[in-house]
Copies of this chain bind each other. A is one copy, B any other.
Amino acid sequence: MKQLIDQNWLQEHNAKQEAAVISDYNALAEKLERSGIKIDTILEQAKQFTVAVPSWGVGTGGTRFARFPGKGEPRNIFEKLDDCSVIQLLSQATPAVSLHIPWDRPKDPSELRQYAEQYGLHFDAMNSNTFQDQIGQEESYKFGSLTHTNKAVREQAIAHNIDVVELGQKLGSKALTVWVGDGSNFPGQQHFKNSFTHYLDSIKAVYNSLPDDWNMLLEHKIFEPAFYSTVIQDWGSSYLAAKETGERCLSLVDLGHHAPNVNIEMIVSRLAQFGKLGGFHFNDSKYGDDDLDSGSINPYQLFLIFNELTDIRVQDPSYSPFYMLDQSHNVTDPVESLMYSAAEVQRAFVKSLLVDRNALTQYQEANDAMMAQASLKQAYNLDVEPILQMARLQAGGAIDPVSCYRASGYRAAVAKARPADPNKTGSGIV
């Protein structure tokens, strides 16, 4: 399979909307010009912006209660890449894919790499998996993996992570994301200090096998699958582990992994200040780790996070954390959600570029709370859709990815090509 949606057809589809985009873009250009902002500079940055797509995100997600599969779900990593190529073609913001091992383990890594490259795709951070048992696995992760009381289990988990790094090297990846669900469901079940000590030892063992140009990203999470305590429960534990482990060991922030009410943009700032902000899993949430589409619940929070990131990059333009989407698409077509979400993240990024930082700094220094907040809102309230549309248009993507995707008939085509397994039900596991 090569290009799944025809480029010519795509251009024709765009053509109908082009005049409106240009008109809106020019009106916005004029408006920004009045504030001394050249829209082309912003457009250029919008075009450079990318966020990785999770391989597991192109299948339908679910809860412990049930999974309701969609049509034409990809059955292997190659079909997943087919879907990812469509997302990248239309959104022009997602050239990288983040793999999950063993789910995506290829027989022949070079074949997989070539398959991706024909689509112009490459591989972002690799994800290891020690929160599930695989058939034939020696030791069980029921009571933990990198932090297990039993050394044999820890060693198996370490070996798996090292294995994922080796695979990732063959695929051209440059980072390993480590998330463990290790923790406990009862007070007393786990010795907090011993568990964390085991974690540190295990992480260091993995880190020692890391190539020099790789980063290791530690992902924290307050709860689930452990419901009383989680070993890497917050940014404090994540920071300590990254600090203890080494320079290229960094913290990864998933937007849905915090306690209620926590100020995430402040955590972003703290980790960056101490040199430990390595990357993001973007999604949104209202209650827990809901893995909803990025910006779907609280788009202002997403903007505030990018406001921090842009502020950091003003000081250090070379700063470049890993950006990944990590969402569970239970009620939408995953391709649509990932395209729409990539654009939402891009929207927050673009708006953050429009903040008048000199003015903001002066308001902050003068404790002019009203105008400081107003200068953020001034940027946030702008409608930057024309910039996003123009960026996609000029890059060869779709002005409106979702409507274009629907018009393409892609889902119906893969639904035929990928018949569902009639023996599989969507039953959860409660």
A contacts, CB < 8 Å to B: 20, 23-24, 27, 30-31, 34, 56, 61-68, 131-135, 140-144, 149, 181, 184-194, 196-197, 222-225, 227-229, 233-237, 239-240, 258-263, 265-267, 269-270, 272-274, 285-288, 290-293, 296-301, 304, 307-308, 311, 328, 330-333, 336-337, 340, 347, 360-361, 363-367, 369-376, 380-383, 385, 402, 425-430
Measured CB to CB, the nearest residue on chain B to A272 is B193
Copies per complex of this chain: 4
Shortest Cβ gap from A20 to chain B (Å): 6
Q: Choose among B263, B308, B428 the residue that contacts A286 (Cβ–Cβ < 8 A).
A: B263
Judge whether A263 and B229 touch: CB under 8 Å.
Answer: yes
Measured CB to CB, the nearest residue on chain B to A225 is B63
Measured CB to CB, the nearest residue on chain B to A380 is B299
Measured CB to CB, the nearest residue on chain B to A197 is B273
Shortest Cβ gap from A277 to chain B (Å): 12
Q: A293: which B residues are within 8 A, CB to CB?
A: 186, 373
Judge whether A288 and B224 touch: CB under 8 Å.
Answer: yes
Q: A192: which B residues are within 8 A, CB to CB?
A: 265-266, 269-270, 273, 308
Given A229-B266, A262-B259, A266-B229, A365 and B428 contact (CB-CB distance below 8 Å): no
Given A187-B304, A425-B134, A286 and B266 contact (CB-CB distance below 8 Å): no
Judge whether A233 and B402 touch: CB under 8 Å.
Answer: no
Q: A64: which B residues are within 8 A, CB to CB?
A: 62-64, 428-429
Measured CB to CB, the nearest residue on chain B to A331 is B369
Measured CB to CB, the nearest residue on chain B to A267 is B236
Q: A67: which B residues are within 8 A, CB to CB?
A: 429
Given A236-B270, A290-B227, A186 and B65 contact (CB-CB distance below 8 Å): no
Measured CB to CB, the nearest residue on chain B to A194 is B364
Q: How far is the CA of A78 from the CA of B83 in the complex (A)?
A: 45
Q: A328: which B residues are within 8 A, CB to CB?
A: 430
Most B C-beta atoms less than 10 A away, residue of A24, A31, A266, A299: A266
Q: Choose among B66, B285, B371, B373 the residue that contacts A132 (Cβ–Cβ < 8 A).
A: B66
Judge whether B62 and A34 touch: CB under 8 Å.
Answer: no
Given A66-B225, A402-B370, A429-B428, A385 and B381 contact (CB-CB distance below 8 Å): yes
Q: How far is the CA of A421 from the CA of B228 in the complex (A)?
A: 30
Measured CB to CB, the nearest residue on chain B to A244 is B274
Measured CB to CB, the nearest residue on chain B to A388 is B381
Q: A430: which B residues are within 8 A, CB to CB?
A: 56, 61-62, 328
Q: A365: which B residues are within 8 A, CB to CB?
A: 149
Q: A190: which B residues are within 8 A, CB to CB?
A: 364, 372
Judge whether B372 and A228 touch: CB under 8 Å.
Answer: no
Q: How far is the CA of A225 from the CA of B328 in the complex (A)?
A: 12
Q: A63: which B residues are within 8 A, CB to CB?
A: 64, 181, 224-225, 429
Judge whether B188 and A287 touch: CB under 8 Å.
Answer: no
Shortest Cβ gap from A229 to chain B (Å): 5
Judge whether A188 and B234 touch: CB under 8 Å.
Answer: no
Judge whether A191 and B364 touch: CB under 8 Å.
Answer: yes
Shortest Cβ gap from A194 to chain B (Å): 8
Judge whether B429 and A62 touch: CB under 8 Å.
Answer: yes
Judge whether B30 and A188 touch: CB under 8 Å.
Answer: no
Judge whether B262 and A196 touch: CB under 8 Å.
Answer: no
Judge whether B370 and A142 touch: CB under 8 Å.
Answer: no
Q: Choose among B193, B222, B300, B360 the residue that contacts A298 (Cβ–Cβ < 8 A).
A: B300
Q: A188: which B residues are within 8 A, CB to CB?
A: 307, 360, 363-364, 372-373, 375-376
Q: Choose among B132, B189, B290, B331 the residue that contacts A142 (Cβ–Cβ < 8 A).
A: B331
Known: A187-B307, A190-B372, A340-B370. 15 other contacts (CB 8 A): A64-B428, A64-B429, A65-B181, A66-B132, A186-B292, A186-B293, A186-B331, A188-B373, A194-B364, A196-B273, A222-B287, A228-B286, A260-B261, A298-B298, A381-B385
